[in-house]
Amino acid sequence: MRPEDDGEFVGARLDSGLRAARFASPPSAEEFADAIEPRNAPAVFRGVVKDWKASFRWDPRHGGLDYLLEKVGPDVDVEAMISSTGHVFYGDLRSHERVLVPFSKFIHSCRSYLRNPNASSDSSKAQEILNNPTASETGCSGSLDSCDQVYLAQVSILNNENKERCSLEVLKEDIKEPTFLRGKPFSSINIWMNRAHLRSSTHYDPHHNLLCVVAGCKKVTLWPPSASPYLYPMPVYGEASNHSSVSIEEPDYSSYTRAKHMKEYSERVILNCGDALFIPEGWYHQVDSDDFTIAINFWWKSRIMTEMLEHMDAYYLRRILSRLVDKEMNKMVQESSVCHSKGSTVIQPMDEAKGGFEQLNLHSQGADSDTSDKKDSPLQTLEPSTLQALYELISLVHNSVELVSQNEVSEPTSQNESYNQSNERKKITADDSSLLEKDAIAKIMLPLEPLELQSMLLVMARTFPRTLEALVLNMLGPIGAEILTRKFDEMDQQATKEQQSEFYKTFYNVFDDQYAAMDSLLNGKEFFSFQTLLLGMDSFIMMHFR
């Protein structure tokens, strides 16, 4: 995201349900707890902290520096962040240092910058502060004055996890707990203050956050957790795992190819003095702060994290993996359908007047084949495209399966053998788009409407029962089993209970062992789920955990 991109915006691909809600007046604590916080989506509250003492006493451009120095006193040291990457503060420890400096020194440097904001800065001066962080004001103010890359970041006003770190606790008198956060168990309340314009890198926090601007202006760009693939978070095992790897000023799209779409999934909001922004846990955000911007933020644990007990971890993980599998399966089937419709060639229906029916009747295995009147043949009920699909299926089965006889297919000798997969099909490929290409039967069934497929299966059950048996027990691959059972579900939605019962009775009566047929379908679906789990986990880890 480049600094010249000004103003608020909403990315074209950001789901409408994830866009920041706007409030002109503060909600009640009940409304926030019941309707806003559970959405896990941002919310902007205009003017909700304008009545804080901090909002009209701390502004550096209107006497706030003198007020803050007098309020805090001359002998308080604060932890400052000094960047080695200019005005951009990245989360990686290799790009910044935290040093202890007198608060008075920082205030005096702000005064100098206020008097002469165009003075050139020298990032090498930051090292002088690192080498002599506790030097006296007169001895070291020069180096601090000429170093723009200084940020009072996350300096505690209240810290329930480490009470010893509250160096600016006295400033708590000038702020108020927002009424809609009443009763929240705050982990910490912090001040964020910069002298010159700066930018924070894209990152997320493990707590809910209310960011309140009391002086200056912040431009906050937000991404939902689902946008992780476009942001390339750092490795989960690293010390900056909550930060994006993508540079916000010079993104390397050759290395991070998906990042070119990151703006499409984002939203930017502008916070002026008195405004507040709710940033849910896990939401990525990148912040641009104008000169002399001061903010207060409240962090608290979400209800989900508070109630996520350790002994439930295995259950939550299984639920998450199950949802991941369902999502990936739907995606694979839908993408296969789209690719098939775009890339398939036009099927030329068989010439019904010149032997089309005869072609199928040569393979006919049921009682209907004995009829001499072709007008009574079940084949005549099928649409030309469905008839073509039937012919292709029969050809596949007869060309690929070795039949003991034309009227009988060998019965599987065990339940494991009932799902007969070739070694090639058992290989888990990293390219999920190839699964459909490797399953010719699935490719034939996929474009058929549910009721067309039902009609075709009924014809097979009555006219080509052995071929149908061989198809289900010996030929149907994992994605084919998934597509067929999904079509069954769609058929059920369009049929009465009686019609459903009649269809399944006719279908399963074909098989000498009906349980073997059901096992074959279920085994195929489970194997497809297993493939999807491996593919999905591989993709998920690469995109979200690197």
Single residue among 287, 307, 327 that ends a domain in this structure:
307
Say if residue 461 is in the same domain as residue 535. yes
Q: What is the pTM of this model?
A: 0.69
Say if residue 296 is in the same domain as residue 317. no
Say if residue 178 is in the same domain as residue 275. yes
Encoding tokens for residue 68?
A: 């803050």
Q: Which domain holds residue 460?
A: 309-336+383-395+437-545
Report if residue 390 sits inside a domain.
yes
Say if residue 159 is in the same domain as residue 269. yes
User: Cβ neighbours of residue 371 under 8 Å, at least 6 residues apart?
Assistant: 377
Encoding tokens for residue 129?
A: 């502060």
> What pLDDT is stored for residue 306 in this prediction?
78
Report if residue 431 sits inside a domain.
no
Single residue among 307, 324, 355 that ends a domain in this structure:
307
Which amino acid is present at 265? Y
* pLDDT tens, the chain, 546 aa long: 444 457 899 999 999 999 999 999 999 999 999 999 999 999 999 999 999 999 999 999 999 999 999 999 989 999 888 877 778 887 766 666 788 899 999 999 999 999 888 764 544 444 454 345 444 333 333 455 555 578 999 999 999 877 667 889 999 999 999 999 999 999 999 999 999 999 999 999 999 999 999 999 999 999 999 999 999 998 877 778 899 999 999 999 999 999 999 999 999 999 999 999 999 999 999 999 999 999 999 999 988 887 778 888 888 888 888 888 888 778 777 665 555 554 443 333 343 323 344 555 555 555 444 444 555 667 878 889 899 999 999 988 888 755 444 444 444 443 344 344 434 334 443 344 455 667 888 889 999 999 999 999 999 999 999 999 999 998 888 989 999 999 999 999 998 989 999 999 999 999 999 999 999 999 988 888 888 888 777 777 666 665
Q: Total structural domains in the chain?
A: 2
Encoding tokens for residue 330?
A: 């739907």
**CATH number of the domain bearing residue 292:** 2.60.120.10
Encoding tokens for residue 71?
A: 């309020």
Report if residue 77 sits inside a domain.
yes
Say if residue 185 is in the same domain as residue 170. yes
- Report the alpha-carbon distance of residue 510 to residue 465 in Å, rounded: 6
Say if residue 291 is in the same domain as residue 208. yes
Please, which residues bridge with residue 222 across strands? 267, 285
> What pLDDT is stored for residue 239 in this prediction?
73
β-strands 198-200, 88-89 pairing: parallel
Which amino acid is present at 186? F
Say if residue 183 is in the same domain as residue 317. no
Say if residue 297 is in the same domain as residue 262. yes
User: Which residue, chain included where needed, has tokens 């707990």?
Assistant: 177
Give the Cβ contact number of residue 388 at 10 Å.
17
Look at the alpha carbons of 176, 179, 183, 188 in this order and tell me if their dihedral is positive or negative.
negative
Residues in the chain: 546
- Please name the helix (run of DSSP H) or strand (run of DSSP E) that holds residue 526, with its range, or none: helix 514-540
Could you tell me the CA-to-CA distances from 276 to 23, 42, 220, 298 in Å, in that order?
10, 11, 11, 10
DSSP 468: H
Single residue among 267, 288, 307 that ends a domain in this structure:
307
- Report the alpha-carbon distance of residue 332 to residue 349 in Å, rounded: 29
> What pLDDT is stored for residue 142 in this prediction?
41
First to last CA, the chain: 22
Contact 268, 187 (CB under 8 A): no
Contact 337, 431 (CB under 8 A): no
Encoding tokens for residue 70?
A: 């007098």
Contact 347, 388 (CB under 8 A): yes
Q: How many CA atoms lie within 13 A of 203 on its CB side?
A: 20
Crossing angle for the helix pair 103-115 and 64-72, to the nearest 10 degrees: 170
User: Which residue, chain included where needed, has tokens 């032997």?
Assistant: 355
Of 124, 168, 163, nearest to 146 (Cα)?
Answer: 124
Q: How many CA atoms lie within 13 A of 456 on its CB side?
A: 27
Report if residue 246 sits inside a domain.
yes
- Report the alpha-carbon distance of residue 395 to residue 2 in Å, rounded: 59
State how far Cα 167 lies from the chain centre: 38
Say if residue 98 is in the same domain as residue 247. yes
User: Which residue, chain included where needed, has tokens 């170093």?
Assistant: 147
Say if residue 387 is in the same domain as residue 320. yes
Report if residue 136 sits inside a domain.
no
- Report the alpha-carbon distance of residue 296 to residue 62 in Å, rounded: 18
Contact 330, 217 (CB under 8 A): no
Report if residue 348 sits inside a domain.
no
Torsion angle of the four alpha carbons 485, 489, 490, 492, in this order, in degrees rounded to the nearest 10: 130
Encoding tokens for residue 8?
A: 């608020």
- Report the alpha-carbon distance of residue 360 to residue 354 in Å, rounded: 12
User: Cβ neighbours of residue 82 under 8 Å, at least 6 residues apart?
Assistant: 96, 97, 98, 99, 126, 129, 130, 147, 149, 150, 151
- Report the alpha-carbon distance of residue 231 to residue 236 in Å, rounded: 14
> What pLDDT is stored for residue 367 in this prediction?
44
Question: Backbone phi, then psi, for 431, in 5-degree steps?
Answer: -105, 95
Of 536, 542, 538, nearest to 325 (Cα)?
Answer: 536
Residues 105-134 as b/e (b if ≥16 CB within 10 A, e otherwise) read bbbbbbebbeeeeeeebebebbebbeeebe
Say if residue 278 is in the same domain as residue 165. yes
User: Cβ neighbours of residue 480 under 8 Å, at least 6 residues apart?
Assistant: 439, 441, 442, 445, 524
Report if residue 320 sits inside a domain.
yes
Say if residue 315 is in the same domain as residue 265. no
Report if residue 429 sits inside a domain.
no
Q: Is 149 exposed, middle or buried (0-12, 13-18, 19+ CB in 10 A)?
A: buried
Contact 286, 1 (CB under 8 A): yes
Contact 456, 417 (CB under 8 A): no
